[in-house]
Structure formats: structure tokens, C-alpha cells
Amino acid sequence: MSASKEKTLHGVGASPGIVIGRAWSVPRHAVKVVYRHLDTPNEVESEVVRFLAALEATKQELVDAREDLDAALAEYSYIIEAHLLILGDRMLKDRTVDLIRAQGINAEWALSQSVTEAQGVFDKVKDDYLRSRFADVVHVTDQVLRHLSGQNDSSLSNIREKVIVVAHDLSPADTTQMDLDWVLGFVTDMGGPTSHTAIMAQAKAIPAVLGLERISSEVTSGDFIVVDGTAGVVVINPDEETLHEYRDRQEAYELYAQETLALAHLPAETVDGRKVDIGANIELAEEVGTCLGYGAESIGLYRTEFFYISKRTLPSAEELYANFKAVAQRLQGRPVNIRTLDIGGDKFASFMELSPEINPALGLRAIRFCLKERELFKDQLRAILRASAHGRVRVLFPMISGVDELLKAKDLLEEVRAELKQEGIRFDRKMEVGIMVEVPSAVAVADLLARHVDFFSIGTNDLIQYALAIDRVNEQVSHLYQPMHPAVLRMIKQTVKAGHQAGITVAMCGEMAGDQRAVPLLLGLGLDHLSMNALAIPRVKRIVRLVNQKTWERLAREALTFSTAEEVIRFMDRQLKRQFPQIFTGARAAA
């Protein structure tokens, strides 16, 4: 191989592992959307019929894809269900029909206009996960356009050799056409860590690098490529030296993964005997199976927002109850912390007409929104309480800024309890109540808040942003988002101290909890529970089992003496390398 042909691209490491092999390039020629004016009412109505027929054909394709799902992926059928919901959404279906009739234009052009309008809504969303869901709209639209144009063929069903699939993007229908036993890895232009392709790759332990922007135009079928899903790197036509290096890395990673996964189901207990609960954060009920497979001992955070934004109408208390009950039963006595609706601000729901806000992150969101929309809030509380009869369910109130908000939320909870009791409906009379500590005022009065709850859960994603006045999705200031900032570490310590003095446990469910480089320090600061993305659980458990609690309590006290984040990071680099040489072999070794 010629060294001059080697090319390295960087994307998003969506599913860990290293694979080396030949590319299978998926030909995906974009459907050309051309404007066509319709001259007569008959033409307009015929175009509406043609559009609705394409929707129905796409719907049938998705239904078939759901039925054809690999048995190991059956629990991920919710992704296809979400696409089916999008097909019927008024933003896509009704708006397109309205445009065809109002403007006398062809279905392809009207559909493209509808999607452009939808993108304008999604672009205003700051939450990474929710913003990434626009990719689902694009997938569905692409399928409809292909049915309208007659371009609906795919080569994916022809894969009969071990290959790395390279594509612009992959839809649920695409992946069901493949025999995944032949797929070594996924590489795409589009997508991120919460995309459909990422979820499928993680479920089948297939390394994947997504969001490479132009990889599909750089690679042709038969090219030799390296995919490093851990580092988010793809090497096209590697030279012999690079190939040798990655084969060594591949062997080391596979050994590490085997050792780590083998320990994933053991308790997370430090060498000096301190037990730490390791839980998972989920968006959807169907994720529970994957979490348990990676060794989760609880669901530390069940975010309920997606259950709302994926529907065109408000979910009923009965629907919510069925969903929460299923999670509780699946966990078989393990705890689940169900966070009440954290919507408003940078999130939205299509059925809610919320007034624009100049600064939505500081506006009507989370508990503020729920206390204003009392009936919506009571439906959630009713469902959570009823689900508590079927497992260890705990309620978690988000964005509590002071005692007054907390007491108002608890008053509504008591109101719902009384209603259920009067109706003779079972629920756990001792269901635990917790709050998210994610604004500085909550830290300042943590000792007062602790008197009224059973547990704290620190949400570092928001706490860091609010404490440092940093919008981490703003490219101008995102580099200032520093989890190791002394102010953040002191806030964590203050919260833990207040909780423990009141006799309650303190958890962390932000991204910091899943960073194995931060875990020893977090244990030293006294956290009792850590909750994270399921993929991070095995490596976090591994590091916990190597930690000496007493040693890191001393090191944490030292870390709190530093003045800058850079000083803390340098200190941690030295200590990690010294304490855990088998994991951290360099000053900035990859997690």
C-alpha cells in the first residue's frame, strides 16, 4: 500500500471498538426535487393522492422493517415506531397537503418546504439529544421522496461478506435489510451518539464512527479502512506502519473489553470496601434491557421528555402509567428515578404553544413549567405513584431552585396521593422523593432542601453551565465549560456534605459521572451513586474496583485547594497515571 494514499478522518465515536476491513459503499443518490406547478384542481387533488400513497408505501415499508428486526434488536422497535409517528405528524403530512392545495405545487416540492419549516423549529433547540432527532424527520422524508420518485432500491440485502458499511446515513429500514452478522463496522457522513445507527451499533457491539461529513464520497467499495469507534477515527487505505499500529490497538482493546465486561456485573466496590451504586440514564423504556446488559444496578435517571415530544397530543396518565410500570417491572426491584417533565426553555412539544422567551434557559422550564401546568404535572405524578406499586420507583423533581418550589411540588404530590387513596388505587405510601441539584441557588441552600427530600441527584450538565455562565453549545465560549473548575468541585462537595449531614444519599447523573477520569475524584468527594450512559458502566465499574476510598478522600481535599481548572486537571493527570497505570498510561490517556 502506498503511504501517500493514506487518509485519516475524524468523526463521532458512536460505538466503541476497532475493526479493520474492506468497505461496502452504499450508493445513495439524492432524489432531485424539482418544482412543478399544477394547473387545474384535478391535478392538485391527484397530487395529494400521489403524496398520500407515498406516505402509505413508506408506512408499510417501516411496518415490514419492524417485523423483520433481528431478534437481538427487537426491543429497539421504538425507533421505527417514532418514524411511524413522524409520518402522521401534522408538521409533515398535513402541512404538505396544505401546501400542495394552497400553492398548486407538486408533492416533492411541498414536502421539501415542510421539512425546511420543521428544521427551523429544531434549529432553535439547544438540547443535543432533542436537536439530533431532526435526523429522524430527514430519514422519513427521504423514504417518502424515494417512493414518489420510484428510486427505492438498495444494495444492503446483498451483503454476504465481512465488510464495513460506509454510507451517507442509514435509516431503520436500511439496517433491517442487512444481515448484521456480516457487518464489521458502520461509518457514515451523518449521525451522532444518539442517532438510530449509533443505537443499533451499540446494541450489536459493532464499532461505529459517525458524523464524518464526507466519508461516503471519499471511500469506494473495496477500499481498505480502519474504524476506531473508541477514538472516533477512520483511516482510509492505511500504510503498513499504521495498519500494524491499529492491529496492536485492536488486540489490546479486545482484551480490555473482555476483562471489563467480565466484571460489569460484579458490584462496584472500592478496594477498601465502600459500595457505590452504578446506574444508567435512559430516554426510553426500551433501553432498560441494554442497561442491565452492561451491568446497571439501577436507572439513576429516566428522562420523560421524549415520551411527550414524540407525540402529537399530550400523553394521558394511563399511557404514562403503563410506560412507567413496564420499566419498574423490568428492573425487578432495582430502583428507578423518574424525573418529572423537564420541558420548556431549550425543549419543546408540538402540542404546546409556548410564548417565545428572550432567555429560555432561565425561563419557564422544568419544575416552573410543571407548577404552572398543574393538570399535566398531576398526570405525571399520578402515573409515577401508580407505577410505584410495581417496583422501587422514586420521583425526581428537576431544576429546584429553593425550598418554596420544592414544597409546592410536594403539596401537589400529596394531593395526588390523597386522590389515589380515596379511589382505592395501590401505590407505595413511602415512595422516595428527590431533587435535581443543578442550579447554584440549590447548592447554596442544600442544607435546607435536604430536610424535605430523601435523596439528591446532581445534574452536572446544567450545574456547570449555570455556575460558570457558559452555554456549552455556543462555539464562542464552549471551551470554558470545565467540569474540573474549582467552583464546580466545591459545589459538588458542599452538596454532598449537606446531604450526608441530613442523612440522605447524594447521586450524580450528569456526563461527568460517566467520565472514568473523574470517577476517583467524585468518590473522594463522597458521592454515593453515579448514573451514566449505559456504555460507560463497565469501565466506570472497573475503575471503582481499583479505587482506595481513603486515598482519594485525601486527594480530593488536595484538589479543592487549587485555583484553576488547569491546575486540577494537571493534578488529576499525575494521580491517575500513578494510581492506575494499567488504565492511564499517559498524561492525557483516552478513557
Please give the average pLDDT of every successive group of 10 residues along the chain, which has 591 residues: 72 90 80 85 93 90 76 63 78 88 93 86 64 75 83 68 90 74 92 76 86 90 93 93 93 83 88 96 84 93 79 80 95 96 57 46 72 91 97 96 96 97 97 96 97 97 86 56 92 98 96 92 98 89 95 97 95 94 59 38
Distance CA 45, CA 51 (A): 10
* Model pLDDT, residue 160: 82
Q: Which of 139, 168, 291, 509 is catalytic?
A: 509
∠ CA 488-494-500, rounded to 5°: 135
The sign of the CA dihedral 331, 332, 335, 338 is positive
Alpha-carbon distance of 548 to 261, in angstroms, equals 21
CA 275 to centroid of chain Cα atoms: 27
Q: Which amino acid is at 305?
A: E
All cell numbers assigned to 403: 425550598
Alpha-carbon distance of 136 to 184, in angstroms, equals 24
Please give the pLDDT value at position 591. 38
Active site residue 509: yes
> Are 560 and 490 within 8 A, CB to CB?
yes
The alpha-helical segments, DSSP class H, found in 124-213 are: 128-132, 134-149, 172-177, 196-203
Query: What are φ and ψ of residue 184, in 5° steps?
Result: -80, -35
Q: Tell me the one-letter amino acid at 389.
A: A
- Residue with C-alpha cell 415512595? 431
Sheet holding 224-228, edge to edge: 7-10, 233-236, 224-228, 18-25, 163-167, 183-188, 208-210, 12-15
**Residue 34 corresponds to which cell in the numbers above?**
424539482
| Contact call for residues 456 and 463 (beta carbons, < 8 A) | no
Q: What is the pTM of this model?
A: 0.69
Cβ contacts of 49-54, under 8 Å, gap ≥ 24: 50/107, 50/148, 51/96, 51/97, 51/100, 51/107, 51/110, 51/111, 51/144, 51/148, 52/97, 53/147, 54/107, 54/144, 54/145, 54/147, 54/148
pLDDT at res. 87? 81
- The residue annotated as part of the active site, out of 83, 139, 168, 196, is 196
d(CA 441, CA 436): 12
Q: What cell numbers appear for 578 in the block?
A: 500513578
- Enumerate the H helices of 445-564 as residue ranges: 446-449, 460-468, 486-501, 519-524, 537-544, 549-559
Q: In the chain, what are the domains?
A: 3-26+154-241 (3.50.30.10), 41-149 (1.10.274.10), 250-272+435-591 (3.20.20.60), 298-431 (3.20.20.60)
- Sequence letter at residue 529: H
- Separation between Cα atoms, residue 542 and residue 269, nearest integer Å: 9
pLDDT of 130? 62
* Grid cell 428507578 in the structure block, residue: 336
Q: Report the pLDDT value the prediction gives residue 61, as an integer from 0 to 100.
A: 81
Rg value, the chain, Cα? 25
* Residue partners of 158: CB distance under 8 A and separation at least 6: none
Nearest to residue 285, comparing CAs of 242, 225, 338, 232? 338
What CA–CA distance (Å, rounded) separates 213 from 168?
A: 8
Distance (Å, whole) CA 439 – CA 418: 31
